[in-house]
Amino acid sequence: MSQLSQARAAVTAARRPAVLTGAGMSAESGVPTFRDALTGLWERFDPAALASPQGWASDPALVWGWYRWRAAAVRRAEPNPGHLAVAAWGRRVPLQLITQNVDDLHERAGSEVLTHLHGSLFDYRCARCGEPVQVPDPDPSILAGDGEPEQPPRHDCGGLVRPAVVWFGELLPEGAMESASAAVDAADLLLVIGTSGVVYPAAGLADLAHACGVPVIEVNPDPTGRGLALRGTAAELLPALLA
Ligand code: NAD
């Protein structure tokens, strides 16, 4: 039996699957992963340094400009056939979808997301007092540039407004890891799509699945060895796997 047939049999038999997605899920929607070559301005910067409290502290305008550019780019992107296949599977079985992605492409494909472990590009909060802040979408014309530095707005308390995403070295939103772990623990299959598995604690969910005896299937052109490996992209493989 081929890897794909084996995986399809496991998908067909699953009654309470969990799905963990990473940046590779959205790559074919034109949203670059952190490990893709970056363009323009961002070629010169390390995303891990921009997506960090240290990066924010040293140059908030640089980080704000980068995030506003990314938010505009995601607004322009569309869900790919992989997102649509996951959403269709979720209409057939009670699927628990956990994502590390800060985009909204699963939701726009029609999925209900259990938790965004790393927050959302479209939520903001005060960096000083933590209060959530509404910020209008960036003007799409921002995409004509490379994401120029831009001064972040100020909250009423005087603090700077920052994206409500989880930066390297920060804690996950309260309860996010608990609900994700409970979903994996209760699952009879974990499908891991497009994640390099190097960003913890999210990467620990596949380890948890192994510890709980939950079978793992991985979809990735460059599999990490975290389960039955299907070598290929999300948009190519998921429609065949989940049909
Ligand atoms: P990553 O950048 O570390 O790894 C991406 C993984 O996706 C790699 O293993 C790569 O082989 C795989 N991949 C590349 N193209 C693929 C495709 N077409 N189909 C399937 N897999 C593909 O991403 P990560 O593991 O999610 O960790 C980085 C962090 O960066 C995440 O926590 C996430 O919050 C953040 N991030 C999010 C987005 C987004 O929201 N779309 C984009 C970039 C980074």
Q: Which of 26, 212, 35, 51 is nearest to 105 (CA)?
A: 26
Phi, psi of 232 (to 5 degrees): 165, 180
Phi, psi of 165 (to 5 degrees): -115, 160
pLDDT of residue 50: 85
pLDDT of residue 42: 58
**Is position 106 annotated as part of the catalytic site?**
no
pLDDT of residue 212: 95
Testing ligand 1's pocket by substitution, the residue of 19, 33, 108 carrying the most ligand atoms inside 8 A of its CB is: 33
- What is the tens place of the pLDDT at every residue in 186-237? 999 999 999 998 889 999 999 999 999 999 999 999 999 989 999 999 999 9
Q: Which residues line ligand 1 (CB under 6 A)?
A: 22-24, 26-28, 31, 33-35, 100-103, 118, 194-196, 198-199, 219-222, 233-234
pTM for this entry: 0.95
Residues of the chain with pLDDT under 70: 36-45
pLDDT of residue 41: 52
Residue with tokens 């960003």: 199
- Integer Cα distance of 36 and 44 in angstroms: 13
